Amino acid sequence: MIELVKTTDVVRISYLKSLLESADLHPVLVEASAYPGVLPSRLQVPDDEAAQARRLIAEVDRDLR
């Protein structure tokens, strides 16, 4: 598994997870706390999906600027 994003922004990480799932990828959300947003959560994907996932996230980040 490759970590793509580590953040306390629950809205962003939920959106990115949904985006990756809609692209038929298999993201895993690893939450470090029972209280979302308190400690950083990590979004991970299998090694062989990392390049495609990074491209999708980069496109979203570019469009939001």
Q: Which tens digits make up the pLDDT trace of 14-37?
A: 999 999 999 999 999 998 777 777
- Can you give the pTM of this predicted structure? 0.89
Q: Which long-range contacts (CB under 8 A, 24 or more apart) does 26-30 make?
A: 27/53, 28/1
CA separation for the pair 46, 6 (Å, rounded)? 16
pLDDT > 90: what percent of the chain?
77
